[in-house]
Amino acid sequence: MQAKIISTGSYVPKKIVSNKDLEAIMDTSDEWIKTRTGIENRRISETENTSVLCGKAALDILGKATISADKVDLIIVATMSPDYLSPSTACLVQDYIGASKSMAFDVSAACSGFIYALSVAEKMLSSGKFHYALVLGGEVMSKIIDWDDRGTAVLFGDGAGGVLLENTPSQGSFIAEDIHSDGSRGLALTTGALPVSNPYSQNEKNPADIHLKMEGRAIFDFAIRSVPKSIKAVVETAGIDLSDVERILPHQANSRIIQAIAKKLKIPFEQFALNISDYGNTSAASIPILLDELVSSGDLVLGTGKKIILTGFGGGLTWGSILIRI
Ligand SMILES: O=C(O)C1CCN(c2ccc(-c3cc(CO)ccc3Cl)cn2)CC1
């Protein structure tokens, strides 16, 4: 029995905020944002929290697969912007879609979250104990960014996407993976700081702080150093060449990073899929939104067996690639 991707889906909030809109509320420019990041617009949630974005993406996925929610027995949500610390966003999604027979939990791996969640789901399905798994990446980054910090506020957007995996006797989707973390550099990108605080603690000086903080240059350089190695690792494990890979779907953090990765790998930039201009950096949601966009447009067709690489990188630090046949 092997896990196979049988459906994709996504959902983004309807409000579009352009770079020009941001010029009106902070000291930035369309020119700077576009040239330094590739971002032109982002979606911003006005009322829908992460569980609702994920729930609507899940309904999109299930609708396309014509599978009812009560058939789903595993829900994993990758997010760094949950509705609550508890209950998990996955449990809220279970309630939202009525997946009464499912177990549900969240994965916290920042912008590599969808990669981590896919890897975990595949292992759980191959145990034979689960048949249908919803694997979602969803974020409302707009609630955790510091809107007074133009260095980060212009980078992020909100959205959700995911896939439905089925445990099948036929050939599965998963060919190879290369997944890492380095906790020693974890403080280079933080959000939701919850320091010790109680009548007996000595922590008055550092209160809880929801805001995302990032050592941008350090993360940027880490990505350019680590991602090419991870992509190379999965093709080597599979015994194929990069030229055998139809498309590479990287986390949509920054278009200049993707250009640098293509250059390091000596492959055409066009082999990489890119939609950061429309959504900004949606963290764990970026890869599944991109995958669904490519499938929905017919650019990628499920069931063709074509090889693609999904690759995430970000807070943790975490990074990882999965080579799949779709
Ligand atoms: O001055 C410039 O050009 C700035 C330099 C800093 N930039 C950055 C830096 C880091 C990220 C980033 C963020 C995450 C978190 O999801 C994950 C992975 C990455 Cl590589 C995105 N942009 C923007 C342009």
Residue 161 shares a structural domain with residue 181: no
Run of H or E residues at 152: helix 150-153
Residue 54 shares a structural domain with residue 125: yes
Ligand 1 lined by 155 (C-beta under 6 Å): yes
Residue 63 shares a structural domain with residue 116: yes
CA–CA separation, 140 vs 160, rounded Å? 9
Residue 271 shares a structural domain with residue 139: no
Residue 209 shares a structural domain with residue 288: yes
- Total residue length of the chain: 326
CA of 55 to the centre of ligand 1 (A): 28
CA–CA separation, 281 vs 141, rounded Å? 9
Per-residue pLDDT, 21 = 98
pLDDT tens track for 222-264: 999 999 999 999 999 999 999 999 999 999 999 999 999 999 9
281 is catalytic: yes
Reported in sequence order, the residue ranges of 44-168 that DSSP labels E, i.e. its strands, are: 74-78, 103-107, 132-140, 158-168
Contacts for 53 with CB less than 8 Å, ≥ 6 apart: 11, 12, 13, 45, 138, 139, 140, 158, 159, 160, 285
Ramachandran quadrant class, 149 (left: phi over 0; alpha: psi -120 to 50; beta: rest): beta
Set 19, 111, 167, 254: catalytic member: 111
Residue 92 shares a structural domain with residue 230: no
pLDDT tens track for 153-204: 999 999 999 999 999 998 999 999 999 999 999 999 999 999 999 999 986 6
At 303, the pLDDT band (50, 70, 90 cuts) reads very high
Task: Specify the ligand 1 atom closest to the Cα of 286.
Answer: 16
Task: Specify the ligand 1 atom closest to the Cα of 283.
Answer: 16
Nearest CA to ligand 1 atom 16: 283
CA of 190 to the centre of ligand 1 (A): 13
- Domain range for residue 28? 2-168
CA of 42 to the centre of ligand 1 (A): 15
Is pTM beyond 0.90? Reply is yes
Residue 184 shares a structural domain with residue 302: yes
Task: Give the end of a domain, one of 139, 168, 197.
Answer: 168
Residue 292 shares a structural domain with residue 231: yes
Residue 265 shares a structural domain with residue 137: no
Q: Which of 275, 206, 271, 285 is nearest to 242 (CA)?
A: 271
Residue of 191, 254, 311 best suited for mutating to test ligand 1, as the one with most atoms within 8 Å of CB: 254
Residue 142 shares a structural domain with residue 199: no
Task: Give the end of a domain, one of 152, 168, 184.
Answer: 168
Domain count, the chain: 2
pLDDT tens track for 284-301: 999 999 999 999 999 999
131 is catalytic: no
* Complex prediction ipTM: 0.96
251 is catalytic: yes
Nearest CA to ligand 1 atom 20: 220
For 166, the token pair is 């089925």
Residue 121 shares a structural domain with residue 15: yes
Task: Give the end of a domain, one of 168, 199, 214.
Answer: 168
Residue 182 shares a structural domain with residue 35: no
CA of 126 to the centre of ligand 1 (A): 36
CATH of the domain at 241: 3.40.47.10
Burial of 28 (0-12, 13-18, 19+ CB in 10 A): middle
For 222, the token pair is 């880490």
Run of H or E residues at 174: strand 174-181
Ligand 1 lined by 152 (C-beta under 6 Å): no
Mean pLDDT over all residues of the chain? 97
Asked whether residue 267 carries a pLDDT value surpassing 90, the answer given is yes
78-82, 101-105, 168-172: lowest mean pLDDT where?
168-172
Asked if 322 and 176 touch (Cβ cutoff 8 Å), the reply is yes
CA of 2 to the centre of ligand 1 (A): 36
